[in-house]
């Protein structure tokens, strides 16, 4: 199953709050990528969002993976998890039943 994870800084947190966790966070993300659980990762500056695409068997497994990230453990990041599934509605374009 594929999941979209959006991580955003919790309000009131400063760059100084994040600095001690930068290297451990990057190491954790890289380890997750090498294990094939994490498929893609992106960062945007405005707004500040880390986007992760996980491929894991359940939403519980995704939450376990996210909970293990140092910045999440430290309470620095808020998260949103979205289960991504097939877009069956596209069948309507082809006159297929069930659209």
Structural domain contains residue 99: no
User: What range does the domain containing 36 cover?
Assistant: 2-94
**Total domains in the fold of the chain:** 1
CA distance 4 to 50: 10
Return the exposure string of 7-39: e unless at least 16 CB atoms fall within 10 Å of the residue's CB, then b. Answer: bebeeebeeeebeebeeebeebbeebeeeebbe
Structural domain contains residue 60: yes
Read off the CATH number of the domain in which 8 is found.
Answer: 3.30.70.1060
Residue identified by tokens 């808020």 is 78
Tell me: pLDDT of 16 over 70.
yes
The predicted-structure confidence for 58-80, as pLDDT tens digits, reads as follows 999 999 999 999 999 999 999 99
The predicted-structure confidence for 18-51, as pLDDT tens digits, reads as follows 999 999 999 999 999 999 999 999 999 988 999 9
């Amino acid at each position: 199953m594929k999941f979209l994870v959006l991580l955003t800084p919790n309000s009131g947190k400063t760059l100084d709050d994040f600095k001690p966790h930068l290297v451990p966070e990057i190491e954790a993300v890289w380890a997750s990528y090498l294990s094939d659980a994490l498929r893609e990762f992106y960062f945007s500056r405005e707004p500040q969002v880390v986007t992760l695409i996980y491929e894991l068997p359940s939403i519980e497994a995704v939450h376990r993976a996210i909970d293990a990230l140092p910045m999440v453990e430290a309470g620095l990041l808020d998260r949103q998890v979205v289960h991504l599934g097939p877009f069956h509605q596209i069948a309507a374009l082809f006159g297929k039943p069930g659209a």
